[in-house]
Chain A
Amino acid sequence: MVALAETEASSLGIREIRKSFPLPDDPLLRRPVLDGISFSLAAGELVSLIGPSGCGKSTLLRLIAGLESPDSGELLIGSEKITQPGAERGLVFQDPNLFPWLTVRRNIQAGLVASGVLREKHHEVDDFMRLVGLETFADAYPHHLSGGMAQRVALARALINHPKVLLLDEPLGALDAFTRMRMQDEVLRLWRARGTTMLLVTHDIDEAIYMSDRIMIMSPRPGRIERIISVALDRPRQRSSPDFLRLRGDILEFVHFAGNAPMENKS
């Protein structure tokens, strides 16, 4: 029963979300960015969100994080309504955004300090540094770290409050191809170890297929969810297996089709 309650609490429900922003040159006009988005994430699920730039992926993530509020619709975590940012929803950006004035250790424990629980949970800082393999860099400042290391610190920092949902906004987008593949395994390892529900925004179709249980494809102007694809491949996945490549081909075709809607009319 307890387990059931916990799993329900870390599910995510998005219902009929609409969001628009004022135009820069005419504040009275508003441009719709998200137009009736609905989906839900089961507890412990890893779901990717792909789509062309400008389709409102990042806005959707900011809404779930509570950094923005929707024009209409409902955002639920478990059965609780999301109204403001909170430690139960972690967010990792493309830029690690580490606080440059804090050492690696102090960056990681920032979440505990912010929630005022550093004294009770002090021992966990070491666990998380080990979890991301950075214990030898505890006293280094962020400008000494490579991109991959910095992003690992950002992941540890976001995980230390034991968020129910982790929101990842193209977290590996700025890394080189090799580091990116290594970090994908790293994120998967963290996901498996912690059972955190994850919503991953990415540009990279391979990354989406490699990592997620389901893939949601968005279309732009205004942002809508066009299609949700279940990835029924066994883990660990082979990037060059026939099933992987076939799925990749399907998605590419669909994205091409969805991204060039006017072309559809011509043909």
Chain B
Amino acid sequence: MRPEKHNSRRAISPPKSTPQLPSATTHPNVDAIQRVDRGSELGWRAQLAVPLAALVALAIHLLFSKRAPAVETHSYTLFFYEILGVSAVLSIAQGFWMPLRSWMRHMFPILTAAILLLGLWDIVTFGFQLLPMPYFPGPAAVLRSLINDRVLLLDSTWHSLALLLSGYTVGVLVGLISGVCIGWSTPVRYWGMPLLKVVGPIPATAWIPLAMVVSPSAIVSAAGLIALAVWFPVTMLTASGISNTRASYLDVARTLGAGRAYLIFRVAIPAAVPSIFIGLFMGLGASFLTLVVAESVGVKSGLGWYVSWAQGWAEYGKVYAALIIMAAFFSTIMTLLFKVRDRVLVWQKGVIKW
């Protein structure tokens, strides 16, 4: 009897209860499904924006390149035909390949903007020469330098890499050792910390005059300066990580029968690893700076040397070419360090983000 009564009551006053119930339960689901659909649906913007931008930039370039010798613009024109071809292929492939579609959906605004920016650069420099020459060559000239000087650029990159890695490795090793000692031992902290606080903040490059006198070769002194630049942040952050180890972790380890070696290497150092990585990143930034300065002052090889050498000949196309290589080179190394950190700190996943 009762259920029937309920039913009839519901039938009498439907506007309040019945429409609300389904909307409350189904709407979120529909919403979620729509969101997924939107993510994978084929959008004409994502398909056409990049090829169109490439077309515009190419048209701009072709328009201006008529008045310049073909040698100067040939490779850039070719480069843009390639971009146009690739973007056309991408836009067609989106129709068939799901992963590419969602990737393009995410990337097309920034790709489009980058290509249009190349076009704008072309207009401002090569086209109307609004910026003083020879300091601001057009993209075609930079690309030509990049291609013509590729052997020397590759060689310079290799030298920079060797110098950077040797200096960075030494700096990190010494920094870890001194950081652990300062962080763990009270007497070492008493004597080491003032030294660290006074000497550490001096930029490594400020030691160049001294380094030139003291060391046997420019390469060795540059590696030493890079190591010094890395040593300070690594030491500081390692020491702080070690001395901030939660006392209860050490207490637990002691009640498990741990000796000093276990406390240092299996408790304090693992607990300090997140802090140590901050030091490693800061050290990496400092090492890039020191590398480039050291190379442009004393060392006769590497990207820093290449930049100042090209500047000496007023070949600014080469300067920008080297800058492009540097950007790729340094950001690759930075990315590698991030990957290492993600691997080492897998236990922290979801705990912190930086």
Which A residues contact B (CB, under 8 angstroms)?
62, 65-67, 85-87, 89-91, 93, 95, 97, 99-103, 110-111, 113-115, 141-143, 157-158, 161
With A110-B256, A158-B255 known, 16 other A-B pairs at CB within 8 A are: A66-B254, A67-B251, A67-B255, A90-B255, A90-B256, A97-B248, A99-B270, A100-B347, A100-B348, A100-B351, A101-B270, A111-B256, A115-B256, A141-B349, A157-B256, A161-B257
Find the B residue at minimum CB distance from A160: B256
Chain B residue numbers with a CB within 8 Å of A91 are 251-252, 255
Q: In the complex, which residues 247-303 of chain B have their Cβ closer than 8 Å to any Cβ of chain A?
A: 248-249, 251-259, 262, 266-267, 270-271, 273
Complex Cα–Cα for A67 and B271 (A)? 20
* B249 and A97 contacting across the interface, CB-CB below 8 Å: yes
Chain A interface SS verdict (over half): loop
Enumerate chain B residues within 8 angstroms of A158, measured Cβ to Cβ: 255-256
Q: How far is the CA of A195 from the CA of B349 in the complex (A)?
A: 39
By a CB distance below 8 angstroms, the chain A residues around B248 are: 93, 95, 97
Q: Does B350 count as interface, using CB distance less than 8 angstroms?
A: yes
Please report the C-alpha to C-alpha distance between residue A110 and residue B258 in the assembled complex, in whole angstroms: 9
Q: Is A101 a contact partner of B347 (Cβ separation < 8 A)?
A: yes
- Residues of B at the A interface (CB closer than 8 Å) are 246, 248-249, 251-259, 262, 266-267, 270-271, 273, 346-351
> 22 A-B residue contacts at CB 8 Å?
A62-B251, A65-B255, A66-B254, A67-B254, A85-B251, A86-B257, A89-B255, A91-B255, A93-B251, A97-B248, A99-B270, A99-B271, A102-B270, A102-B347, A103-B347, A111-B256, A114-B253, A141-B349, A143-B348, A143-B350, A157-B256, A161-B257
Bound Cα distance from A157 to B258, whole angstroms? 13
**Closest chain B residue to A91, Cβ basis:** B255
State the CA gap A115–B258 with chains docked (Å).
6
By the criterion CB–CB under 8 Å, are A110 and B253 in contact?
A: yes
Q: Which of A62, A65, A86, A141 meets B347, CB within 8 Å? A: A141
Tell me the complex Cα distance, A111–B256, Å.
5
Cβ of B255 and Cβ of A143 under 8 Å apart? no
Which A residues are CB-close (under 8 A) to B348? 100, 143
Residues of A within 8 A of B257 (CB): 85-87, 111, 114-115, 161
Complex alpha-carbon distance, A90 and B346, angstroms: 29
Once the chains are docked, how many angstroms separate the CA of A100 from the CA of B254? 17
A101-B347, A143-B347 known; A161-B256 Cβ under 8 A? yes
- Min Cβ gap B346→A in Å is 8
Which 6 interchain pairs have the tightest Cβ spacing? A87-B257, A114-B258, A85-B254, A111-B256, A91-B255, A115-B257
A143 lies within 8 A of B256 (CB)? no
Closest to B273 in A: A101
B271 with A101: CB separation less than 8 A: yes
B262 close to A114 (CB less than 8 A): yes
Measured between C-beta atoms, what is the minimum distance from A57 to chain B in Å?
16
| Chain B hits for A113, CB < 8 A | 262, 266
